[in-house]
Amino acid sequence: MLYQRSSALFKDAQEYIPGGVNSPVRAFKSVGGTPIFIKKAEGAYIYDEDGRAYVDYINSWGPMIVGHTHPEVLSATVEQMKNGFSFGTPTELETEIAKLITSVVPNIDMVRMVNSGTEACMSAIRLARGYTNRDKIVKFEGCYHGHSDSFLIKAGSGAATFGNPNSPGVTQGTAKDTLLAEYNNLDEVKALFENNKDQIAAIIVEPIAGNMGCILPEKGFLEGLRQICDENGALLIFDEVMTGFRQAMGGSQERLNIKADIVTFGKVIGGGFPVGAFAARREIMNHLAPLGPVYQAGTLSGNPIAMRAGITTLNIINNDRELFTRIDKATETLDVEISKILAEKGIANKINRLGSMMSLFFTKQDEINNFTAVTKCNHDSFNKFFHHLLANGVYLAPSGYETWFISDAIKDTEINKTLDAVRSFEI
């Protein structure tokens, strides 16, 4: 049995942890089978409890852009740990990373550190509401901004309507202030603003969606959102938890040349440790406590271990801008070659890619540009593909609704191993 120890560990975990996991996608419910328990990681590889190695295309869902246990990051983190694990007081490290972030990300002056992407997006929404003195927000179907109540909303009878909770525990009162539109559909956004004049505080969007697979903004979509916000006195929030410091040093704002009012970060800025942040212009951030009336706090925010790992990771990237060229090229190679191999087998597929993010969809559709299109793909074929690659030492996100994240540790050896696994795949 390939995953004997993982199977035993999962059985044990289910007795003490709901579903046996601490985040639902880890349970493999989407793809079926038993989740793999990981023991260690290094470079481009993760190693399971049964001793098997896998080329890793999750990379902890994005943060390991320089590869696992990068020597510089590891050394700096170990040295920092010798000084203490957590203080609950200000440290110079917090200012150091804030200076670095504001120096490279467009349109921001100040940063507030938090402990997760969920917390960053939740706080950004609160800040937007406090700044504009409005209650409602617009989000997009298929975009995930964490598990805060305001974001766990699905469409009602039509996409451009009031949201309804899609999780027990989220109240109708909360849901009524979240308006839902289809990604890449400006007409629906315009209709929401027309029907809710002077009530919408912000639009929050993944500028490159990563939680319904990798979905790219169509030409003019983000520009249109910017214009709608400007015309209606609303703020544009970019959720760059995935894309920040991955698409470019300045994130999607730099890569796509669109300026947001508030930006949320996570993943890369902690070098693999739990972290999040939100940032904006000074005039907006001055509304935060202790300067202003919008309250936000976190006992462990700015944890020194996470700050040191994040600073080191960001400096590696900042001092080696060719890194983006390398990982973009590796991702392009995977895109082109996988699509060609599958097409030669007569397997219909569509790959979306931008930078070092990509997704493979089994479909005959020419475009995959919103959540509805993703739902129409052949997810049974993806599930078979996932397990085939897993058995051949390649680890993908265990869902057809997720994104691959390529790291700088992925070289020709890992790409060739992946392509060999694809060549032996049959529907």
Active centre residues (catalytic): 144, 239, 267
Answer whether 370's CB lies under 8 Å from 215's CB.
yes
Indicate if the alpha-carbon torsion angle 259, 260, 261, 266 is positive or negative: negative
Cβ within 8 Å of residue 103, ≥6 positions away: none
Please count the other Cβ atoms lying within 10 Å of the Cβ belonging to residue 332: 15
Radius of gyration of the chain (CA): 21
d(CA 263, CA 106): 10
What the block records as the tokens of 339 is 């699509």
Distances (CA, A) of 135 to 132, 169, 196: 9, 20, 11
d(CA 253, CA 247): 9
d(CA 224, CA 210): 20
Q: Do the bridges between strand 110-114 and strand 276-280 make them parallel or antiparallel, or are there none, so unpaired?
A: antiparallel
Helix axes 304-318, 71-81, angle to 10 degrees: 150
Helix axes 322-344, 412-423, angle to 10 degrees: 20
| E strand spans, 206-337 | 235-239, 262-266, 276-280
